[in-house]
Structure 1
C-alpha cells in the first residue's frame, strides 16, 4: 500500500493522494531535465496509480515531430530513467493521452494549435480544462511563453477548472532579476497558481527534518544556542560541470546551489514550530528565518570561493574548470562557495551556520550536521578522552539517506576510555516502501494544487537579499582560489572555520 506524508494528510494518512482529471503541457521537451526527470516521474506516478486514467501529456518544441515521435521520446526516457518497473499496460494507457505541438515561442499559430489540442483533450480524455504548464526552459524565455499563454486564453480558468504554471530554478540571477521574473509570472497567473520547483524540497530526507524535529521530544529542547555550537550544511559533488558549460559559466556554485537548496535547508533547520503544516504556515516560519539572517562584517574572512584545478577523481586524471570545453580561459566563475551566516533570533543567537557547496570534491554527499557544544565538565583523565570530539546529529540527504548521531561511549575493558561512536538510521533499512523520486512528489503536488513544498516569491527575494552582497564582494576580489580536483575545496574555506576554532566535517 502507498502511504502519504502524515505531516500533510490529516484526513486519512493511509490513503494515497490521487490527482483528479488533468493534463500537463511540457515546454523544453528535448532537454535533460524533461527526459531524465519529468517524463520518468510522470510514468512512475501513473505506474503507482496516482494519475487519472485520462491524464494527458502535451509536448511543445521546435522539432517537426508527430504525436507518435514524441511518444517514442517519452517511451525511451521512461525505459532509461524511470524508478518503477516498466509495465506495458500502464504505458499504453499513458501513451493514449500523449500529443505534440510543433512551434517556436513567438509563433502565434503554434499557440493556437496548442489551445485546440488542449480543448480536444478536454473533450476526448476528460481532462476538464485542468492543465499545468511546465516551463523546463531557460528563464529568458519565460516572458515570451507566459505572454503567449495569456494572449491565446490558455491561462484562463473557466467553470471551476484550474490553470497552473511550473518554473524551475534559477529564479533570477540576483534580487533585481528575481523581481522582474516574479512580475512576469504575476501578470498572467495568480500567485497561488505559480509553482517554483526546488527539487531538494521534494526529497524524503529533507521533509524528515520537520518530522524529526517536531514529532519527537528528544531533539527540540536542545535545538537552540544553549546546546548547539554550530551548524554545517554541505552539498558536495565529485563530478565537474560535464556538458553544462553554457549554463554554469557566469552562474557559479553560489547562485546554483546556495541561493536555493542550501538556504531552504537552513530555513527548515532554524525555523520555529509552525501552527500547522499547511503552505502558509510553513512559508511564514521559513520567511522569518530568512529575514533574520545577518552577514558578518568581514566577508573576506567569513566566505570562501574556489575553482577546481586539474587533479584526480575516481582514480582518473581530470581537467580543471578552465580546461573544460566551452569555458573561457579567463572565467572567474566559482565552482566552490562557502559562506558564514547568522540567524539573529533568540533561539540561534551566536550560532554560526556554515554553508558550502562545490564540484570535483572528495565525494558526492549532501548533509546537515548539527554540532553540539562540548560538555561543560568531563570527570575523566585527559588520556581517557583525548580523541573525543563534539556530539553531532547528521542528517544525510543523499546518498545513503538517513541520520547519524555521534556520541561518546566507553570502550570495553577495565579502563575508563571514551571513544566516539555512531548510531545510524538508514531509510532503506527501516522502511519497506521505497522513497519516491523528488519530481514524483512535486509534480503530483502541482496537479493536486498542494503548495507547501514550493517556495513563494517572498522567499526567493529574501534569499537574493542574503546572497547579493556576497556576490558583489567576490566580484570586487577578482579570480576565485584554485583547488585540486578530488580535494575538499580551497584553503580559504578551511581558514574560514579555523578562525572560529572549528573544522569542516569530512563526510
Structure 2
C-alpha cells in the first residue's frame, strides 16, 4: 500500500524532497547501527522514491566478502528492521548499486580500491562524483579514516560535485578531545561538509518543540520566568548496557546522553525565536542559550550519579551494572546522571532546568516537561484543591509521541472541587501521514546538503564546557574516595540523591 510521503519539501509540501545523483560509503557495515538503522533507512527512502535511481551504497569493513555477500547483509537488515513494506522491484534497483571493499583503516591498497570503486560508480550509476562518507565506527578511528580519504583523493570534490563526511556521537569525551576531533575533520573537509548526527534532532516530536512554541500564540507569551517554575528533561531507558560494556564503561550516562541529546533539547526549549528555520539562524539562537548556561556552585548538591543494582525489570530478575560481563567490579562509570542547570538571560533567570538520564529505570521514556508556577491566589478551600498540582505542558518524544497539557478542572457535582486533568495529543491519532524514522530524515538531509538538524562544532564545544566541570567534580571525588556512584535498584527511578537534589528546591521529579 502506498502511504502519503511525510518527507516533503518544506517550501512546498506538494513537492517531495528527492536527493540528486549521489552515493554513500558506509564504514562499519557490520555494526548494530548500520544493520538496525542506517541500511533500513536507506531502503525506506528508496521505497518512498526519495533516492535517485542510480543511488549507490558501498560497504567498507574487515571482511572477505564479495558484492553479493554485502547485498545479502543489507537484505537481511532491511527485512528485519525496515519501516516500510518490502518491494522486490525497489530492492532490485537499489541492490544494483551495492559494492563492497574489504580492508583495514590503515590499508592503503583498500582505499585505492575504494577510490576505483567510486569512480566506477560515477560512470556506471551516474552518481556524478557526489559521495557521503558515513563513519559508523568507534570515534578512535575517525582520524585514521579521514586522513586516508584525504591521502587517496577521496575527500576532494571536483567541479560542481560534493563530498561530505558523517560522524556519530560521541563527539569527543571532553572539551579538548572535541576540539581535536574538529581539527582532524576540519583539516580534510570544509565546515559545511561535516555532518554530526544526533539522531534525536531527527525525531518529529523534537522538531515539534519549535512548532509548538512559535506557531501558537497561546504558548510563547508564558514561555518565560514570569510563568514557568522549572523545566524537567528526562531520557529514561528500561534496558541495561547489554553487550556494550566495551563502549559504555568509561563513558557513562552523562557523556552518552546529557552532553548531546539533553543539552540539544534544552537549547530548543530555551532558545529565542529564530529569524528563519535555516541552519545559520537556528544555530545562532542555540549557541546563545548554551553560552548562557551556568552550573550552581555546589555541584555536590546539584548533581547526582548512580549505578543500577540487581532488581526487577519488565517482570524479569536482572543483574546489576557491576555484575555485567566486561565491567570491572571497581568501575565508577555512572549509569544514571542528573544535573541542575541555570540559564542566565532575561527570559530564564531564576528558572532551573533539571536534566536526568539513566538505564534500568522504571520505563522507557523521553520527555520535556514545562512546569508552570502556581496561581498566585486560589479562592478555594484546602479540601477543594487537595489533589491539585502545578500546570504542566509535557512533550513526549518517545514512545507514544505527542503532548499532554495538565490543568485543573472542576469535578462534576455541586461542590467547587478542583482536580488535575490531562488533555492529550498523540501523533499517531492526529495525522494520517506516517512519521519518518529519525535516520531517514537525517540521511536524506545529508544527501541534500541540508544542515539545520546537525549540531556544529561550536554547539558541541559549548556543551562540553557545561558538562566538563561536572565530570571533573565526580573524578575528584573518585580520586579522594569521597563518594562513588550511588546504587539504585533496577526498575526504580534512580538514586535517592537525585530526589534529594530536587527536594532541596521544594520540588519533585515527574513520574512519567
- Gaps (5+ residues) in structure 2? 479-483
Q: Corresponding residue for 2:126?
A: 126
Name the residue aligned to 1:31: 31
CA contact (8 A) 2:6 2:436 kept: no
Aligned with 2:226: secondary structure? coil
For residue 16 of structure 2, give the secondary structure of its aligned residue in structure 1: coil
Q: Does 1:50 align with 2:50?
A: yes
- TM-fit CA distance, 1:235: 0.1
Take 1:505 and 1:395, find their aligned partners in 2: how far apart are those partners?
13
Indicate whether 1:220 and 2:223 are aligned: no
Q: Give, in angstroms, the shift of residue 315 of structure 1.
A: 1.2
The total of aligned residue pairs comes to 504
Tell me which stretches of 4 or more aligned residues in structure 1 moved more than 3 Å.
Answer: none
Contact 1:56 1:97 survives alignment (8 Å): yes
- 1:2-47 Cα deviation digits (max 9, x unpaired): 2446xx722x122110000000000000000000000000000000
* RMSD of aligned Cα (Å): 0.7
Q: Does 1:62 align with 2:66?
A: no
CA distance in 1, matches of 2:167, 2:86: 28
Is residue 502 of structure 2 the alignment partner of residue 497 of structure 1?
yes
Correspondence for 2:492 among 487, 490, 499: 487
Give CA deviations for 1:126-150 in whole Å, capped at 9, x if unaligned.
0000000000001111111001100
- 1:394 corresponds in structure 2 to 394
C-alpha distance in structure 2 between counterparts of 1:139 and 1:311, whole Å:
33
1:234 alignment counterpart: 234
Aligned to 1:251: 251
After superposition, where does 1:87-486 map in structure 2 within 5 Å? 87-478=87-478, 479-486=484-491
In structure 1, C-alpha distance between the alignment counterparts of 2:119 and 2:244, rounded to whole Å? 37
**Cα distance between partner residues in 2 of 1:447 and 1:487:** 42
Q: Which residue is 1:2 aligned to?
A: 5
User: What TM-score does the superposition give when structure 1 sets the normalisation length?
Assistant: 0.99
The question of whether the paired residues in 1 share the 8 Å contact of 2:306 and 2:494 is answered with yes
The gaps in structure 1 that reach 5 residues or longer are none
> C-alpha offsets along residues 123-175 of structure 1, whole Å, 9 cap, x if unaligned?
00000000000000011111110011000100111010000000000000000
Secondary structure of 2:147's aligned partner: helix
| Contact 1:4–1:14 (CA under 8 A) maintained in structure 2 | no
Distance (Å, rounded) in 1 between the aligned partners of 2:52 and 2:59? 19
- Distance in 2 (alpha carbons) for counterparts of 1:313 and 1:263: 28
Q: Is the partner of 2:502 in helix, strand or coil?
A: helix
Contact preservation (8 Å) 2:202, 2:441:
yes
- The answer as to whether partners of 1:3 and 1:13 remain within 8 angstroms in 2 is no
CA–CA distance in structure 2, aligned partners of residues 30 and 3 of structure 1: 29
Mapped partners of 1:197, 1:300: distance in 2:
32
Deviations 1:182-215 (A, max 9, x none): 1000000000000000000000000000111111
